[in-house]
Amino acid sequence: MTSPRSLLIRTAGTNCEAELEYAWNRAGASTEILHVKRLIEKPETLREFQLLSLPGGFSYGDDLGAGRIHAIEIRERLLGPLREFVGGGKLIYGVCNGFQVLVKAGLLPGFEFLESKEAPPLDATLTDNENGKFQDRWITLKVVSSLTPFLKEGAVFRVPIAHGEGKFLPKDDATLAKLRASRQVVLKYVAPDGSAAKGWPDNPNGSVDDIAGICDPTGRVFGLMPHPERHADKVQGPTWTREGGGEGDGEGLAVFRNAVEYAKGL
């Protein structure tokens, strides 16, 4: 197989599809952007793709909470086709609002999503940043689990965040313990030198356990608040003018390269 195909879903208020499409293209995937209504009309479209993305934005204005309405739409209308998609070994990527949607639709953490026939329970949420403010800043991430094909454990990289509701909060301690035990906590906020985050601004939103991204038990559904697609090229980075010129890849591109590599095997 030559070039994996990546489908980007948009709806009212999606606004990060341009940079995400560029990152997938840079990583070697071909892309298509589709309105969610078209996918609901014809869910079998999914079969033509190996990769599916939910980009960032303010779906339906984030009215009723970030990602909530889009999540209900997906949960009520597309759960079956998505189960088939993930069950077939394919990958889902949800970033920022897309992550919020995956969590609020129950696909993440998605403990029994594939096995069950029911709508998955909602075991976690993303809520207001601890300081109550929308924040746009560059942060440093560290991969702490290789469960998902998107990431390679040990990698440290810088990407921007831009959100107001990014605080990851599991339902209870047991859920957090389960997430850890199953290695589904894959990405953490860390200090610029890669050591553990020392509060704000290393951890910009007060996420429990500095969690920036998680995946489902199979690793094939991956969601995170920060935006690796906004650091696909070096010149998109925060301090590239100090770091030997503007030529080359950005630090977030590996996320997409890894996924494309994996998808080539499908």
Active site residues: 96, 227, 229
Q: What is the DSSP letter of 189?
A: E
Q: Per rule CB under 8 A, is residue 210 in the interface with other proteins? A: no
Provide the token pair at 177.
Answer: 């313990």
Provide the token pair at 78.
Answer: 């597309």
Q: Per rule CB under 8 A, is residue 235 in the interface with other proteins? A: yes
Q: Per rule CB under 8 A, is residue 245 in the interface with other proteins? A: yes
Choose between 60 and 99: whose C-beta lies nearer to other proteins.
60
CB of 146 to other proteins, least distance (A): 27
CA distance 84 to 47: 9
Of 233, 157, 163, nearest in space to 188 by CA:
157
Choice from 44, 48, 115, 239 touching other proteins (CB under 8 A): 239
Provide the token pair at 183.
Answer: 């290695």
H or E stretch including 170? strand 167-170
Helices marked H in the chain? 17-26, 36-41, 68-77, 79-87, 97-104, 173-181, 253-264
- Of the listed pieces 72-80, 84-92, 147-155, 215-223, which binds other proteins according to CB under 8 A? 72-80
CA distance 73 to 171: 22
Of 37, 4, 41, 33, nearest in space to 17 by CA:
33
Tell me if 190 sits within 8 A of 142, measured CB to CB: yes
Choose between 126 and 219: whose C-beta lies nearer to other proteins.
126
Q: Per rule CB under 8 A, is residue 216 in the interface with other proteins? A: no
Residues within window 96-135 making contact with other proteins, judged by CB under 8 A: 122, 124-125, 127-135
Choose between 70 and 142: whose C-beta lies nearer to other proteins.
70
Q: Per rule CB under 8 A, is residue 191 in the interface with other proteins? A: no
CB of 247 to other proteins, least distance (A): 6
Q: Residues in the site for other proteins, rule: CB under 8 A?
A: 10, 12-16, 18-19, 22-23, 35, 37-38, 56-58, 60-65, 68-69, 72-73, 76-77, 122, 124-125, 127-137, 160, 162, 169-171, 227, 229-230, 232, 235-236, 238-239, 241-242, 245-247
